[in-house]
Amino acid sequence: MKPSLPRQTECHLIGDIFRPAETFQWVCNVLRYKRTGAGFLRAHPICNALYYKRVFGGVRGGMVLAGVLLAACACGLVTPLAGQPVQAVQDAIVADALADKSGTEFLTRLCDDFGGRLTGSVNNRGALARTVAELKALGITARLEPFTMPGWVRDDDEAEMLVPVKRKLRMASLSYTQPHVRFEADVIDIHDGREADFAGLDAAGKIGLLAPNTTVPRGQYETAAVRHGLRGLLFIDRVGGGQLLARTGSFTGEPLRIPVFAITQEEGTWMARLLKRGEVVRVSMLTRSHCEEIETANIVVTFPGRTADTIVVGAHFDSWDLGQGATDNGLGTAQLFALAKVLQAHAPQNLRTIELVWFNGEEEGLWGSRFHAPALKDRPVAAMLNLDMVGFPLSVNALGYDELVPVLQRFDASLGDRKLKQGVSNINWFGSDQTSFQLEGIPSLTLGGRIEPDVVRYYHDFADTVEKVDPRMIPESAATIAALVYRLANEPGLSTARHSAAETAALFRKYDLENRMKGVGLWPFPDQPPATKPP
């Protein structure tokens, strides 16, 4: 849905026309925008008039308006209205966010009243309703954006060591593991789960033990296991101390063909030592969890700007269910909440529209953002900022969008004595909700933030609970985030031209991400044609 446009849109359009930086940007956009006529037109604010056809009554109305504006400009009847971030407003935002404990208090209520927020669960639905209600109590209108996705319901699954010791194993199924009756089988060590690891193994009918730090993408080791006739997989956790790592088994949402259970490092390496000595290890597995399509929703809050150009700020709302999802991603959920509150108080209207989105279904495969980002197809989006496990802010990352680096450097300088310790970085990565926006050609950003190792180690597990969150973390991070969002929403000259598919593919290739993205089914681009030899 398009944001409802405020009444004063028209006069600021006039200001936009006269902004030299934007006009220069427009020329650049025209030079690089080759894909669609609509994109070409929208490359300049005056042509945004076409975009406001809902407001001005159709395309013809928009063109008439553009003509009137041009005539008015020619007569010198209008003066430029410069959209600039105002340092005093930014400083007030920072001071207020630093003093505000409500983000931490909101997160504590969310964690303690609902526990983990696995998408589709009763807890997740309750937490969604609570978040909308708490925003409403602040005078902020939030809407649910419903969507359906392949869901997964965890039930009472079991793994038991039968030989050499009878003992129930501590385990958690990977998502999209589907019901299987109890079976028992000998365990074999398949190490990283690569093709070479199966050489010489009699795998048929066995249970595979998968090494903790395998770099084989999810989905691929299951495919290899099925090909070699394995009946199940036990995936050793990479962190010790009896921990488990809840995680997605498949980014496509396809039910797994064999059960895949995360097990503890201690019990996993115990089995590996026995197997190395040639001992028999026998285990039984039973799965009651099941896959089902679920209806869920993102939460969206819109602060309409003086133009339709938009900054999207997103954080995933859902979590795994073993703990409370306090760090992953209760942090982002609460930072967005604090951001909404401070924007409402200090900068409810800016040059650009600000859209805050709490995404659902991220942990199971970025489903909420994969729904939301393509729905922005007809909207001019200048940037997307994703907040996933951002602790005390250290850096802001332009993710390889070089054009954003100077903007972020100006932002960093504007922080004064709160300047980021590591400044501006520019390294692309994938696997959280920003990827969905990047795949739509939208320049995206993330923040680097410190979370202590003895806290971050618990992510996706039982001990990701709210008392681990340093009470200063949300105010400190929300202050920096709010300053950044305020600047992005008011900095003149940000382009809304989309990067082409070829440019986006090149950006992921540049950071060597192609194979890993293909491994999890997140590579929509065609393969590169083989290099042609010169004649």
Across the chain, which distance is largest between two alpha carbons, in Å?
A: 91
Name the CA radius of gyration of the chain, rounded. Answer: 26
Q: CB under 5 A: which stretch of 50-58, 321-329, 419-427, 463-471 binds Zn ion?
A: 321-329
> Is residue 328 involved in binding Zn ion (CB under 5 A)?
yes
Compute the least distance from the CB of residue 388 to Zn ion, in Å.
Answer: 4
Helix (H, G, I), strand (E, B) or coil at 284: strand
Q: CB under 5 A: which stretch of 3-11, 147-155, 167-175, 326-334 binds Zn ion?
A: 326-334
Contact assessment for residue 129 and residue 204, using Cβ atoms and an 8 Å cutoff:
no
> Is residue 318 involved in binding Zn ion (CB under 5 A)?
no
User: Residue 364 or residue 388: which is nearer to Zn ion going by CB?
Assistant: 388
Task: Determine the residue type at 502.
Answer: A
Q: CB under 5 A: which stretch of 292-300, 386-394, 412-420, 439-447 binds Zn ion?
A: 386-394
Q: Are strands 232-236 and 260-263 parallel, antiparallel or unpaired?
A: parallel
User: Residue 48 or residue 131: which is nearer to Zn ion going by CB?
Assistant: 131
The CA distances from residue 176 to 258, 259, 315, 321, in Å, are: 10, 9, 23, 14
> Is residue 119 involved in binding Zn ion (CB under 5 A)?
no
> Is residue 440 involved in binding Zn ion (CB under 5 A)?
no
User: Residue 33 or residue 358: which is nearer to Zn ion going by CB?
Assistant: 358
Strand partners, 145: 298
> Is residue 22 involved in binding Zn ion (CB under 5 A)?
no
Handedness of CA 209, 215, 217, 223 (dihedral sign): negative
303 Rama sector, left if φ>0, alpha if ψ -120 to 50, beta otherwise: beta
User: Residue 216 or residue 246: which is nearer to Zn ion going by CB?
Assistant: 246
Compute the least distance from the CB of residue 466 to Zn ion, in Å.
Answer: 16
User: Residue 26 or residue 462: which is nearer to Zn ion going by CB?
Assistant: 462
User: Residue 157 or residue 388: which is nearer to Zn ion going by CB?
Assistant: 388
Which listed residue (197, 222, 388, 412) binds Zn ion by CB under 5 A?
388
The CA distances from residue 517 to 303, 384, 406, in Å, are: 33, 20, 29
Site string for Zn ion, 344-383 (x = CB under 5 A): ----------------------------------------
Residues of span 445-464 touching Zn ion by CB under 5 A = none
Compute the least distance from the CB of residue 333 to Zn ion, in Å.
Answer: 10
Strand partners, 189: 209
User: Residue 208 or residue 365: which is nearer to Zn ion going by CB?
Assistant: 365
Q: How many CB atoms lie within 10 A of CB 489?
A: 27
Q: In 164-229, which ranges are E strands?
A: 167-168, 171-173, 180-191, 207-210
Compute the least distance from the CB of residue 86 to Zn ion, in Å.
Answer: 33
Rounded Cα distance, 315 and 336, in Å? 7
Q: CB under 5 A: which stretch of 26-34, 284-292, 324-332, 492-500 binds Zn ion?
A: 324-332
Compute the least distance from the CB of residue 180 to Zn ion, in Å.
Answer: 28
Q: How many CB atoms lie within 10 A of CB 164?
A: 12
Q: In 193-289, which ranges are E strands?
A: 207-210, 232-236, 260-263, 282-287
Q: How many CA atoms lie within 13 A of 478 on its CB side?
A: 31
Rounded Cα distance, 398 and 211, in Å? 34
User: Residue 189 or residue 388: which is nearer to Zn ion going by CB?
Assistant: 388
Handedness of CA 89, 399, 213, 119 (dihedral sign): positive
> Is residue 465 involved in binding Zn ion (CB under 5 A)?
no
Compute the least distance from the CB of residue 96 to Zn ion, in Å.
Answer: 27
Compute the least distance from the CB of residue 223 to Zn ion, in Å.
Answer: 25
Site size toward Zn ion (CB under 5 A) is 3
Rounded Cα distance, 269 and 450, in Å? 30
Compute the least distance from the CB of residue 477 to Zn ion, in Å.
Answer: 15
User: Residue 96 or residue 328: which is nearer to Zn ion going by CB?
Assistant: 328
Compute the least distance from the CB of residue 121 to Zn ion, in Å.
Answer: 17
Q: Which two structure tokens, joined as six digits, stand for 333?
A: 């959920």
> Is residue 310 involved in binding Zn ion (CB under 5 A)?
no
User: Residue 350 or residue 434: which is nearer to Zn ion going by CB?
Assistant: 434
> Is residue 386 involved in binding Zn ion (CB under 5 A)?
no
Compute the least distance from the CB of residue 118 to Zn ion, in Å.
Answer: 13
> Is residue 267 involved in binding Zn ion (CB under 5 A)?
no
Rounded Cα distance, 140 and 131, in Å? 11
Which listed residue (329, 333, 397, 480) binds Zn ion by CB under 5 A?
329
Rounded Cα distance, 276 and 16, in Å? 70
Q: Which two structure tokens, joined as six digits, stand for 417?
A: 């004595």
User: Residue 51 or residue 437: which is nearer to Zn ion going by CB?
Assistant: 437
User: Residue 117 or residue 306: which is nearer to Zn ion going by CB?
Assistant: 117
Q: CB under 5 A: which stretch of 101-109, 157-165, 327-335, 446-454 binds Zn ion?
A: 327-335
Q: Which of 10, 12, 39, 36 lies closest to 26, judged by CA?
A: 39
Q: Which two structure tokens, joined as six digits, stand for 351?
A: 């040059």
User: Residue 261 or residue 359: which is nearer to Zn ion going by CB?
Assistant: 359
Q: How many CA atoms lie within 13 A of 57 on its CB side?
A: 3
Compute the least distance from the CB of residue 251 to Zn ion, in Å.
Answer: 14
Compute the least distance from the CB of residue 428 to Zn ion, in Å.
Answer: 18
Q: Which of 199, 286, 192, 185 lies closest to 235, judged by CA?
A: 192
Q: CB under 5 A: which stretch of 159-167, 196-204, 329-337, 521-529 binds Zn ion?
A: 329-337
Compute the least distance from the CB of residue 318 to Zn ion, in Å.
Answer: 9
What residues line the site for Zn ion (CB under 5 A)? 328-329, 388
